[in-house]
Structure 1
Amino acid sequence: MKATGIVRRIDDLGRVVIPKEIRRTLRIKEGDPLEIFTDKEGEIILKKYSPISELSDFAQEYADSIYQSTKHPVCITDTDNVIAVAGVAKKDLIDKPISQDLEKYLEEKKTVMLGTGKDKGPIKISEGQDFTITSQVIVPIISRGDTIGSVVIFTKETGETVTEVEAKIAETAAAFLGKQMEE
């Protein structure tokens, strides 16, 4: 564990303020849920809670199914990281932070098709991504009115583009995963 040199006191209601610099670095916003862990040495560990990560095995099976049907790579994300990948090497995306561009599209809470000639060019899914995307559809996963992740279907080959069919498949997947989180 890395020390920050920052010390905070507990107030009379048992609260501790997480410094702005740490919240910014860890992408923690007001209202974000945090999980609390303790260890044997008496340390308290706070981790940003991702409700959709509970479905990561299911999300992986869903991504595999979409890839088998469309033959286009697929990834499913929470609001911070890629949690499921099919059609590209997992090491390229899995558990990597999503890009700031993808985060901005998720905030809009609407389906976006990029690189199809109708809109802007495609964006990186993850900042560390080292392959080129030629087109993509990005669909936010919404549960109880909040964006909790995304389904992204994309193409990598020159001349290939996603179509309205892939958009509908991604929208169906996102709606289904969102409903799973409401139960």
Structure 2
Amino acid sequence: MYAPRTLLEEPIARVAVRGKLLAPWRRRRFHAFGADSVVHKPIAIYGPWQMALGERVLILHGAWLSVEKVAWERPAPVVRIGNRVGIRPYCTISAAESITIEDDVILSAYSTVIDCDHTIVPGVPNVLQTPLETTPVHIGAGTWIGERCSILRGARIGKGCIIGAGSVVRGQIPDHSVAVGVPARVVKQLPQS
């Protein structure tokens, strides 16, 4: 465990202790909740029985984690988060069909991953009352998503990619690419390790 001085001086130590205390409860609620994983002070967790988190996942405060009601009857899990994934503060992950985030992905603060769009129906006053269009989202291992990115329905990001801050991704980004912009476009290929 941590020494009292460490708890006072290292905020992440307090996050780890709180995570360990809540882990048994989270394991009962989630489809899978890996060893040493922490979900720290989320705004909301909606449909956790449809979410699987790998080992050593760190989801920091302010996260919105949601499996929409239309996906509750799908085979579990609808949201799959691999091992050693880091999700910075105030991120949204919302699935109505399928979101897969592979191992070692970093999702920077204020970013969104969503696999659906609301539709426009004449005569319906509010998009929350219209059907959803869904397409799975997949983020490959070792990818780094920059701050304030939007990963939208149908995005398929390869392994070892970097998505520049503020980018909007819909469609395919090949392995080991740097992509930036709105919409995100590949600007560079990274060396493969």
Q: TM-score, normalised by structure 2?
A: 0.26
Give the structure with higher Rg (CA): 1
Q: Which has the higher helix share?
A: 1
Structure with more relative contact order (C-alpha pairs < 8 Å, separation 6 or more)? 1
User: TM-score scaled to structure 1, two decimals?
Assistant: 0.27
